[in-house]
Amino acid sequence: MTLCAVLGRPVAHSLSPVIHAGAAQDAGTVPGFRYVRVEAGEEDEIRRLLSGSPACVAGFSVTMPGKPHALTLADEVTDRAAAIGSANALVPLRDSDGAQTGRWLADNTDVVGVTACLDAVLGDTAPSRAAVVGNGGTARPTVAAFAAHGVHRVDVLARSDKALNLRALVESYGMEFSWTRLDAPELASVCAGCDVLVSTVPESAAGEYTDELSRAGAVVDVIYDPYPTHLLTEAVAAGRPVADGLLMLAGQGADQFRQFTGATASSGAMYAALQKHLGLRGR
């Protein structure tokens, strides 16, 4: 048996079992694959799981509030997880014979998920200027994905000066940092000057500003409840390329599945599994 789990609190709402089941079906090369939800978000809880996991455990997905703990508890950390400051995947390290060593690697595959969304809306276009709405946990992997796409300037659009917390990360990738309040009169012109915009905030936070935000050259909204969001609806009406939060979820999950099992699954198959589960096909 190959066992994986998502750790978090609360975790009952997590769609990770859906996408990983879709991945296993698509790959077809992971016999006895199981993926379950585990209520565990505190540091001590995650530490006990890491130290007491049987050999059949191939990895843990981690959601809040466990992401910072996953980073500090791991024996090794990928460069991207270290830069972002949190991890959403814990992978058991193995020796040259493939046996687990009892040591763990922390990674952040949210970068891969955001990258999948950027690829979908940008195609071969090389963005020079990009905007991220919000300054929370998903904003940081978004910044990393911008850097991978060769962005030169990042505009952080947020309600408060907590946006300044992203300055060091943006500048560490050699990109120019700028901050604009969501209620600023120049918001529309700032968005219109961006090649792509990624919103990481709930519908309730972005809803008042969707007309301005949808003026970017392409729009990504990592939120998938409601589906579609008002922002994406406005962007489609304006003729903008868009990508939704389900695509991000599938993209980050596909990279986790590869690290957990060594098998490759199509993110498209995982996206389709999500749509089927949520009754969204044909919409």
Residues 174, 194: Cα–Cα separation, whole Å: 18
Look at residue 207 in the predicted model and tell me its pLDDT.
85
3-class DSSP state of 112: helix
Confidence tier at 9 by pLDDT (50, 70, 90): very high
Q: Is residue 162 among the annotated active site residues?
A: no
**Statement: residue 283 has pLDDT above 70:** no
Residues with Cβ within 8 Å of residue 71, at least 6 apart in sequence: 77, 81, 82, 85, 86, 87, 106
Q: Which of 37, 67, 129, 140 is catalytic?
A: 67
Task: Give the separation between CA 6 and CA 90, rounded to whole angstroms.
Answer: 10
CA dist 279 and 75 (Å) reads: 40
Q: In what order do the strands lie in the sheet with 196-199?
A: 176-181, 153-158, 129-133, 196-199, 219-221, 242-244
Q: Which residues share a beta bridge with 198?
A: 132, 220
232 falls in which pLDDT band (50, 70, 90)? very high
Q: Please give the mean pLDDT across all residues of the chain.
A: 95
Percent of the chain with pLDDT over 70: 99
Residue 162 confidence (pLDDT) = 87
Residue 281 reports pLDDT greater than 60: no
Half-sphere exposure of 14 (CA within 13 A, CB side): 24
Task: Say if 2-108+248-278 and 111-240 have the same CATH topology.
Answer: yes
Q: What was the pLDDT predicted at 167?
A: 97
Does the pTM surpass 0.75? The reply is yes
The predicted model gives 137-158 an average pLDDT of: 97
Range 195-203 average pLDDT: 97
Instruction: Tell me the per-residue pLDDT of 265-276, one tens digit each, with 9 for 90 and over.
Output: 999 999 999 999
| Secondary structure of residue 204 in the 3-state scheme | helix
The answer on pLDDT for 190 being more than 90 is yes
Q: What is the mean pLDDT of residues 119-147?
A: 96
Half-sphere exposure of 198 (CA within 13 A, CB side): 32
CATH 1.10.645.10 fits domain 2-108+248-278: no
Q: What is the pLDDT of residues 85-101, one digit of tens each?
A: 999 999 999 999 888 99
pLDDT on residue 29: 84
Residue-level pLDDT at 282: 47
pLDDT mean over 103-126: 97
pLDDT of 34-89, one tens digit each? 999 999 999 999 999 999 888 899 999 999 999 999 999 999 999 999 999 999 99
User: Where exactly are the structural domains of the chain?
Assistant: 2-108+248-278, 111-240
What is the CATH code for 111-240? 3.40.50.720
Determine contact, residues 164/179, Cβ cutoff 8 Å.
Answer: yes
